[in-house]
Amino acid sequence: MTAFRVSDFLDQASLVQASRLLVEFNASRVAALGSWPAWIPPESILTRLPDATSPGHGGFDAGVACCLGLIPANKQRLAASLHAAYTPELVAQVRKEIIDLSPDSETTWWLSACSVCQEGPSSEESFAAQLRTFEQIVLDDALRLAHAKSCLREMLTSFELVKDVPMSLKDGGMQGAYIAGHELATAYDEDQDLYFIGTFHESLGLSRFPWSEPALPEHQDPERRLGRSGPVHGSRQFVKCATRDEFERALASVRLS
C-alpha cells in the first residue's frame, strides 16, 4: 500500500495547509463511510486541524487519517465509524479483533492512529509531528502493531469503577470501558467542570430527563446557546451534566436501548 506522503515534499506550514485541503475534500466520503449521525456535519472534522491563525482542537486522529488516505481504503470503515458513531456491532468487532491483533486488521489501524492522538490544542508543529509519526506507522507492520497494543493497554487502564460504573480518568477511558465489556461509561472534565455519560448503544433513554441548563438555540450568546447540560450536539448516546447532583440523577435514570 502506497500512502500519500505529503510530508516528503512540504514544509510544516504547507503540510498543514495541504492536510486541511485533503481533509475538507474527503470529509463527506469518510462521514458517509462511517454512517455519521445527522447532527455531526462532515466538516466538523476540520476543527481538529490548526490553521494559520488558530490552533486545532485535538489534532490528528483516526478520522483524519482516513481523510488523508493514510489508512488503506478497505480498512477505513471501523476508524471512520468510531470517529463519530459507536454501535454495538463496532464495539463487538473491536472486542473480537483484539483477542489476536494482526498488523492489518481494522482494529489495529484504528488503535495505531489513536496512539498518536493528543487531545487538547493542536499547533501546526504538533500536528505535523503527529502526522509524520503515523506515516512511519503506515510503512512498518511491526511498529503499527506495537503502537496498537500500547494504545489498547492505555485505554484499558484509563478508567476506574466508581460504584460499579466506569469513570474515565483521561482521554480514551470511555472507549477502554466499552472495549472491556461495560455498556456505558462516564467522565468528568475538570477544565469545564462538566460530567459526561456515554454508551455505544442507540440511546441512554434520557429524552425526558429534566436538564438543568439545556441548550438554548434562540439565545444570542454562543456559549449559553450550547448549554451546560443535556445531549451533546443532539446525541442520544452522549450527554453532559452541569453538576454532580444532576450527573447522579441522570445516571440513575439511564435506560439503555
Q: What is the DSSP letter of 49?
A: S
Tell me: the pLDDT tens digits for 3-60? 455 566 667 888 999 999 999 999 999 999 999 998 899 999 999 999 888 999 889 9
Same domain, 161 and 110: no
Would residue 97 count as lying in a domain? yes
Percentage with pLDDT > 70 across the chain: 93
Total Cβ atoms within 10 A of residue 101: 17
The DSSP-derived string for 185-244 is EEEEETTTTEEEEEESSS--S-TT---SS---TT-S-HHHHH-SSEEGGG-SSEEEESSH
pLDDT for 241: 98
Look at residue 56 and tell me if it is in a domain: yes
- Residue 21 carries which side chain, given as an amino acid letter? L
**What three-state secondary structure class fits 68?**
coil
Q: Give the least confident one: 9-13, 26-30, 71-75, 125-129.
A: 9-13
151 with 51, same domain: the answer is yes
User: Under DSSP, is residue 79 helix (H, G, I), strand (E, B) or coil?
Assistant: helix
Q: 14 and 122 share a domain? A: yes
**Based on the domain organization, do 97 and 168 belong to the same domain?**
no
Cα–Cα distance measured from residue 211 to residue 224, given in angstroms and rounded to the nearest whole number: 14
pLDDT for res 118 = 87
1 within some domain: no
Residue 185 reports pLDDT greater than 60: yes
Residue 131 has a pLDDT of: 95
Residue 176 lies in a domain: yes
User: Is the pLDDT at 159 greater than 80, yes or no?
Assistant: yes
Residues 79 and 125 in one domain: yes
Residues 162 and 89 occupy one common structural domain? no
162 and 232 together in one domain: yes
Structure confidence at residue 13 (pLDDT): 83
Q: Residue 23: what pLDDT? A: 97
What is the predicted pLDDT for the residue at 6? 53
Same domain, 18 and 119: yes
Looking at the structure of the chain, the number of domains it has is 2
Residue spans of alpha helices (H) in the chain: 12-33, 62-67, 77-82, 88-97, 106-114, 124-139, 141-156, 173-180, 222-226, 244-253
Q: What pLDDT is recorded for position 8?
A: 62
Grade residue 247 by pLDDT with cuts at 50, 70 and 90: very high
Asked if residue 223 has pLDDT above 60, the reply is no
Can you tell me the mean pLDDT for 235-243?
Answer: 95
- What number of other Cβ atoms are within 10 A of residue 73's Cβ? 11
203's CB contacts (< 8 A; 6+ apart) are 236, 237, 256, 257
Residue 169 structural domain: 157-253
> What is the residue-averaged pLDDT of the chain?
92
- State the amino acid at position 7 in one-letter form: S
Do 190 and 80 share a domain, yes or no?
Answer: no
Residues 233 and 115 in one domain: no
Give the domain-ending residue among 155, 174, 196.
Answer: 155
Say which range, 8-17, 40-49, 111-120, 226-235, has the weakest mean pLDDT: 8-17
Residue 139: HSE in the Cβ half-sphere, 13 Å Cα cutoff: 9
pLDDT for the residue numbered 225: 62
| Per-residue pLDDT band at 215 (split at 50, 70, 90) | confident
